[in-house]
Amino acid sequence: MALRFEILGRFNRARAAKLTLPHFVCETPLFMPVGTQGTIKGLTTSQLEEIGCHIILGNTYHLALRPTSELIHEMGGLHKFMNWPRALLTDSGGFQMVSLLHLADITEKGVTFQSPVDGKPMLLTPEESIQIQNRIGADIIMALDDVVKTTITGPRIEEAMYRTLRWIDRCIAAHKRPHEQNLFGIVQGGLDPVLRDICVRGLVDRNLPGYAIGGLAGGEDKDSFWRVVAQCTAALPEDKPRYVMGVGYPLDIVVCSALGADMYDCVYPTRTARFGTALIPEGVLKLKHQAMANDTRPIDPTCECTVCKKYSRAYIHCLATKEAMGSILISYHNLYYMMKLSRDLHSSIVDGRFPEFVCTFLQKMFPKGDVPQWVCNAMEAAGIDISSCCTPPDTNHANDVTRPDNNTSDCPKEESNEVL
């Protein structure tokens, strides 16, 4: 085990912790931006430090293809290769194969797929995934799991869950750098509480440094989503970090944190930036919208990032989706927003004002008091009283602001890597 996880504060199920990894001391709850190919699109590593990013994700599948894990190893590991002094996390690569490659096939041996280089069939085994991740050298590496779509039902879910459990032992056995890299197991089991329970217990028995809740954010309904998170966080050990994979909407992060999750990743903030959408407390701001052309306010008047300090919506409107600088500036703001959200979650839990933070957050996002039912349900389970923000206050609803679709966790396949 190459991490320390110290809980600094709690509010019911929510916790704020100090997560000490080989390369950085992180604070949770924590959003981790996705840097698929060894870079967060459009931002320098200095900017990422300035924004306050603690951990960056790399995608094993993409890195193994280019520049290859051997090359990264030869260059001294991914930290050195991309010159990122803070923490890194790599996924197993299996998810990308299943979601990006049509001809991927999962057998007991591993994931068989057609090589995108020469079209030949290739096999990614749990051992190989770990070997590649050992070469890349991230602080946290992920076990290869049998990934199935959340919307699938029937015996395939059960098969995938048991296979994930069998593969974890192969991953543990193959892991050559347990004192420098932390292997996280992934809880599978679809939306079935019985299967999830078996999987959690199986993984906890292995005493891993941390655990991820997988197979979510794939289009399931929000009530199922939070219930799975709530079930898993309740059953996972208190003293280990819990990572909900592929979750990235601010609202989802607040809800999951209330339920006791600690870490999140998603390409949403940076991808949506490239399409001209900025994250703001009220929801999202579509900077391409014609109304922005004459709006001299900053993206978010309450944001303290350099983009909001310097630029008007009107100017960003000129750049959005047209110029590289549009992506750069909106990505900067969006990641700043996500990291600020992480810091606010952390400090409000430590300072014992988590419910107030949640209520303020919800009030801004739902000024009419129309907090979605699933959020109310989840908060009730989390023991957070949000009744004050469910009564409509007498304010005008800003009509230039829209919210992302919060009815489903539609951070689908592409949300765990970012290539385009």
Partner 1 sequence: MNFSVKALSNGGGRAGLLQVGSCSFETPALLITTRKGLPTFISPDMLSSLPTPDCRLLQFSPLHLLESISMKTISEIGGLHQMLGLQEHVFAAVPRDGIISLPDYQSANKTGASFETPCGRLLIKPVQYMEMISSMKPNMWSTLADEVPAWVSEKRNKTSVDRTLRWLDDCIKSPFAKNTGGAVFGSIVGGSRIDERKRCALEVAKRDVSGFCIGGFGLGESMDERPALLNAITECLPEDKPRQICGLGLPEEVLQGVAAGIDLFDSSYIYHLTLGGFALTFGSEGIAKHGSEDRLTDSCGDGTKINLKATIYRKDASPILEGCKCYTCQKHTKAYLNHLFNTHEMLAHILLEIHNAHHYLGFFRMIREAINRGKFNEFRQKFVATRRDYIIGAASSA
Coil/strand/helix, residue 252:
helix
Question: Residues of 339-363 as b/e, b for ≥16 C-beta within 10 angstroms?
Answer: bbbbebbbbbbbeeebbebbbbbbb
To the query of whether residue 265 is one of the catalytic residues in this protein, the response is: yes
Q: How far is CA 304 from CA 115, 180, 193, 280, 328, in A?
A: 45, 36, 42, 12, 17
Name which of 66 and 201 has its Cβ closer to partner 1. 66
Name which of 307 and 386 has its Cβ closer to Zn ion. 307
- Angle, helix 126-136 to helix 155-174, in steps of 10 degrees: 50
Q: Which does 303 bind (CB under 5 to 8 A by kind): partner 1, Zn ion, none?
A: Zn ion
Q: How far is CA 123 from CA 106, 114, 137, 163, 210, in A?
A: 9, 9, 21, 16, 27
Is 49 a binding residue for partner 1 by CB under 8 A? The answer is no
Looking at residues 67 to 126 of the shown chain, list those that interact with partner 1 (rule: CB under 8 A).
67, 71, 74-75, 81-83
Q: How far is CA 57 from CA 179, 293, 354, in A?
A: 20, 35, 27
Interacting span for Zn ion (CB under 5 A) from 188-196, 208-216, 237-245, 332-340: 332-340
Q: Could you tell me which of 21, 61, 389 has the C-alpha nearest to residue 69?
A: 61
Is 333 a binding residue for Zn ion by CB under 5 A? The answer is yes
Interacting span for partner 1 (CB under 8 A) from 5-13, 152-160, 197-205, 324-332: 324-332
Is 412 a binding residue for partner 1 by CB under 8 A? The answer is no
Residue 11 annotated as binding site: no
CB of 405 closer than 8 Å to CB of 28: no
Q: Which of 146, 265, 295, 300 is the catalytic position?
A: 265
Residue 303 annotated as binding site: yes
Q: Which does 67 bind (CB under 5 to 8 A by kind): partner 1, Zn ion, none?
A: partner 1
Q: Which does 322 bind (CB under 5 to 8 A by kind): Zn ion, partner 1, none?
A: partner 1
CB of 95 closer than 8 Å to CB of 146: no
To the query of whether residue 91 is one of the catalytic residues in this protein, the response is: yes
Residue 110 annotated as binding site: no
Q: How many CA atoms lie within 13 A of 95 on its CB side?
A: 28
Q: Which does 308 bind (CB under 5 to 8 A by kind): Zn ion, partner 1, none?
A: Zn ion
Residue 239 annotated as binding site: no
CB of 27 closer than 8 Å to CB of 54: yes
- Angle, helix 250-258 to helix 354-365, in steps of 10 degrees: 150
Choose, by CB under 5 A, the member of 308, 345, 359, 378 that binds Zn ion.
308
Is 279 a binding residue for Zn ion by CB under 5 A? The answer is no
Name which of 213 and 305 has its Cβ closer to Zn ion. 305
- Pairing between β-strand 210-213 and β-strand 242-244 as defined by DSSP bridges: parallel
Residue 188 annotated as binding site: yes
Could you list the active site residues? Answer: 91, 265
Which residues carry a binding-site annotation for Zn(2+)? 303, 305, 308, 333
Which residues carry a binding-site annotation? 91-95, 145, 188, 215, 303, 305, 308, 333
